[in-house]
């Protein structure tokens, strides 16, 4: 389903809603300054909810600002909806809704009057249709009942939903949202995530930057992981999960003996640590491994099959933990 606020983009096979090639940014003139964004090859497929994940300071906002033509890239190329940026800004940007640092809303004006002000500064919209476009955007974010309340009386979630309504004042094929749940309370966070899921269900492509792995797991179909200005991986989340191969874990005081039995049974990557042994399960049946261990006299205190979760995968990719709150 589409309405007046979103449009499912027409897609060429292999085309991308966002694509960058070797996109880099160095702030300042000194050639010795570190690259804030370093050689990014980003690919956001049409229809994806793409989680652009990484800790604060890793270059997400800088990337988004380059994509939208708000700052100039030091080198490399970027395309939005198949249109080169920043050269094609006039063609691409009217089809892209963005939330970067949020619009400055007036606390004493109502939601509807704030949107009217916002629309008035956008020269690409038609003033004759402003009322119906605002109504449609407010409807889309579930704020019609509160449309005439003052902005200052809105909850945090309502304020952020109004900001998203501001990005939906005309039909959009792509939404770029920079940390849209940052600073929200749990209720506001739920409201915004549920809105993102609804927009995605309408076919709009969404690129969502976040430092929260849990947010990616809850709302995203794809993820791109940033670390110190570089993209360390990008993939459908299901594909990433599939790379998380299960391991057996044996707790025992006789770790060396257990390792010998597992190796003898044909398991790979047998790793001995204090009081435990782990190995790749492969095609082996856990029950048979327990039999083999016990049959060999290994005193097994614990046995299990563990599958690494996304957090384990990302830690192994970046060497850093992720904020798993929220
Ligand atoms: N205007 C600027 N001038 C100089 N350095 C900057 C500027 N903006 C960002 N940086 C630096 O570039 C790097 C990347 O920052 P950026 O804001 O893109 O990261 P981020 O992942 O979006 O983090 P955050 O969520 O905290 O904004 C950081 O080291 C930051 O200090």
Residue at 8 is within a domain = no
φ, ψ for residue 259 (rounded to 5)? -60, -40
Closest residue to atom 31 of ligand 1, CA basis: 57
150 and 220 belong to one structural domain = yes
What pTM, to 2 d.p., does this model score?
0.83
101 and 211 belong to one structural domain = yes
137 and 272 belong to one structural domain = no
* Domain containing residue 210: 16-241
Q: Is 210 in the pocket of ligand 1 (CB under 6 A)?
A: no
Looking at residue 277, what is its pLDDT?
96
234 and 171 belong to one structural domain = yes
The CATH number given to whatever domain includes residue 260 is 3.30.70.980
Closest residue to atom 26 of ligand 1, CA basis: 56
Q: How far is the CA of 215 from the centre of ligand 1 (A)?
A: 21
Residue at 78 is within a domain = yes
Question: What is the distance between the alpha carbons of residues 287 and 303, in angstroms, rounded to a whole number?
Answer: 10
154 and 302 belong to one structural domain = no
Looking at residue 312, what is its pLDDT?
81
Render each residue's pLDDT in the chain as its tens digit; 326 residues: 445 566 655 566 678 999 999 999 999 877 778 899 999 999 999 999 999 999 888 999 999 999 999 999 999 999 999 999 999 999 999 999 999 977 789 999 999 999 999 999 888 788 889 999 999 999 989 998 999 999 999 998 899 999 999 999 988 999 999 999 988 888 889 988 999 999 999 899 999 999 998 899 999 999 999 999 999 999 999 998 888 888 999 999 999 999 999 999 999 999 998 899 999 999 999 999 999 999 999 999 999 998 888 888 888 777 776 665 54
48 and 64 belong to one structural domain = yes
**Please, what's the b/e burial string for 92-130 (b: 16 or more CB within 10 A of its CB; e: otherwise)?**
bbebbbbbbebeebeeeebbbbbbbebbeeeeebeeeeb
89 and 135 belong to one structural domain = yes
Closest residue to atom 9 of ligand 1, CA basis: 62
Q: How far is the CA of 297 from the centre of ligand 1 (A)?
A: 58
Which of 25, 32, 59 for mutating ligand 1's site (highest number of atoms within 8 Å of CB)? 59
Looking at residue 29, what is its pLDDT?
78
Structural domain count, the chain? 2
146 and 220 belong to one structural domain = yes
Q: Is 66 in the pocket of ligand 1 (CB under 6 A)?
A: no
Q: Is 24 in the pocket of ligand 1 (CB under 6 A)?
A: no
Residue at 83 is within a domain = yes
Looking at residue 162, what is its pLDDT?
94
Q: How far is the CA of 31 from the centre of ligand 1 (A)?
A: 17
Q: What ipTM does this complex have?
A: 0.93
175 and 158 belong to one structural domain = yes
262 and 189 belong to one structural domain = no
């Amino acid at each position: 389903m589409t309405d007046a606020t979103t449009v499912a983009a027409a897609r060429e096979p292999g085309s991308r809603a966002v694509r960058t090639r070797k996109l880099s940014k160095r702030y300042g003139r000194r050639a010795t300054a570190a690259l804030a964004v370093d050689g990014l090859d980003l690919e956001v497929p049409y229809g994806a909810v793409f989680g652009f994940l990484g800790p604060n300071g890793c270059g997400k906002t800088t990337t988004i600002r380059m994509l939208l033509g708000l700052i100039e890239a030091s080198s490399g190329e970027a395309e939005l909806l198949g249109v080169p940026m920043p050269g094609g800004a006039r063609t691409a940007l009217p089809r892209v809704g963005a939330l970067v640092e949020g619009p400055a809303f007036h606390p004493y004006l109502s939601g509807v009057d704030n949107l009217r002000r916002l629309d008035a500064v956008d020269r690409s919209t038609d003033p004759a249709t402003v009322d119906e476009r605002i109504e449609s955007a407010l409807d889309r974010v579930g704020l019609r009942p509160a449309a005439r309340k003052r902005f200052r009386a809105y909850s945090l979630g309502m304020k952020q939903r109004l900001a998203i309504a501001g990005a939906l004042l005309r039909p959009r094929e792509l939404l770029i949202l920079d940390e849209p749940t940052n600073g929200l309370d749990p209720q506001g966070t739920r409201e915004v995530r549920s809105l993102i899921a609804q927009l995605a269900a309408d076919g709009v492509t969404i690129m969502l930057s976040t430092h929260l792995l849990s947010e990616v797991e809850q709302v995203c179909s794809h993820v791109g992981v940033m670390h110190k200005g570089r993209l360390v991986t990008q993939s459908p989340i299901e594909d990433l999960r599939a790379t998380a191969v299960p391991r057996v874990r044996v707790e025992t005081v006789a770790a060396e003996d257990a390792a010998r039995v597992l190796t003898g049974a044909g398991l790979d990557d047998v790793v001995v640590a204090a009081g435990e042994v782990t190995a790749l399960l492969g095609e082996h049946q856990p029950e048979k491994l327990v039999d083999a261990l016990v049959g060999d006299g290994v005193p097994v205190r614990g046995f299990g099959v563990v599958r690494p979760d996304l957090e384990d995968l990302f830690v192994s990719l970046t060497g850093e933990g992720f904020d798993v709150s929220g």
